[in-house]
Amino acid sequence: MMHGGASLASLSDAAWSARNKGATNPNSALIRALTAAGVQVRLCGQSMVAHGLTEADLAPGVQVDLAALMTVIHHQQAGYALIMN
């Protein structure tokens, strides 16, 4: 679950380049590898809107949730643990 400032890590290469951040998103390969391994890469919809992003701006495979908080609560109720640094 990405949210806040990490939201920009979810951009497609085209959206990354359009924001003058470089030719390609340095996170693209990781997102592809994670999704290929069956990992769900998710973005907080509230953070997406706050950063002026749309679903069209996101890298393939990135899923948008309504809010990070709701997703975290849902997963905790399902037995997952939240690990924060």
pLDDT bucket at 77, cuts 50 / 70 / 90 = very high
The residue whose two tokens read 């640094």 is 85
User: Can you tell me whether residue 62 is helix, strand or coil?
Assistant: strand
The residue whose two tokens read 């806040």 is 4
Q: Is residue 57 over pLDDT 90?
A: yes
Q: Say what the pTM is.
A: 0.88
Task: Kindly report, residue by residue over 4-20, the tens digit of the pLDDT.
Answer: 999 999 999 999 999 98
Average pLDDT over residues 68-78: 95
Domains and CATH numbers, the chain: 4-77 (3.40.1260.10)
Share of the chain above pLDDT 70, in %: 100
Judge residue 22's burial from the number of C-beta atoms within 10 Å of its C-beta, 0-12 exposed, 13-18 middle, 19 or more buried.
exposed
Task: Kindly report, residue by residue over 60-69, the tens digit of the pLDDT.
Answer: 999 999 999 9
